[in-house]
Structure 1
Amino acid sequence: MPITKQYLKSKPECKITFCVPAKEADKVEVAGDFNEWKLSELKKYKNGNFKAQFNLPVDKEYQFRYVVDGEWVNESEADAYKWNEFAAAENSVLVV
């Protein structure tokens, strides 16, 4: 599940593209501290990938997880993982 980072020259932001390959899934969402843990739906493409983009301020870490057909999952290629006491599970970490 690759994440791409494109740092913007015009302002201190990074364009983050979340891409989740899930051909069999009906719905993929992402939630994290960058969107106040509100579910944001990723768009499904014909090749079976789900994608969404966010512009995030740089020099920060963001915790997040995906929800694939109702099941919380981590990003396999996250920059790191942090334990979350509330969920009793690890969150993916994105370093920008």
Structure 2
Amino acid sequence: MPVTKKFLKSKPEVQVTFEVSKEAAQSADQVYLLGEFSDWEPVELKKMKTGVFKTTVNLSTLEQDSYQYRFRLVMDDGSEKFDNDWDAEAYVSNPFGGENSLVSVSPQ
């Protein structure tokens, strides 16, 4: 999942764009992003004409220096699959015996 970051000069935030490739989406109908930044509530990614899913969120640089994220795929048959970013900056253990992807929002 390519992640791009834009550090805002006008306020202590980073504009982070999350993108799930068509290949990673595995023909999913919907893709949701879950992370500490949204209290683990799903944020729906928009499906582009190319089959890529995207969303942009603003993350504060004052609250903490890193955030975790996972994404959930909703498949054609309605089943759900959790996955992590294949190209994450890092991974951290979670309480369920797995790992979560990590995106850093430390000021440059």
Compute the TM-score of the two structures, normalised by the length of structure 2: 0.83
Does residue 1:51 correspond to 2:54, yes or no? yes
Bigger CA radius of gyration: 2
Unaligned runs of 5+ in 2: 75-79
Compute the TM-score of the two structures, normalised by the length of structure 1: 0.93
Shift in Å at residue 25 of structure 1? Answer: 1.3
Cα distance in 1 for residues equivalent to 2:26 and 2:49: 9
Q: Percent identity?
A: 44
Shift in Å at residue 45 of structure 1? Answer: 0.6
Query: Would you tell me which structure has more strand in proportion to its own residues?
Result: 1
SS of alignment partner, residue 34 of structure 1: helix
Matches within 5 A, 1:16-95: 16-21=16-21, 22=25, 24-58=27-61, 60-69=65-74, 70-85=80-95, 87-95=96-104
Superposed CA RMSD in Å reads 1.2
Unaligned runs of 5+ in 1: none
- Count the aligned residue pairs: 95
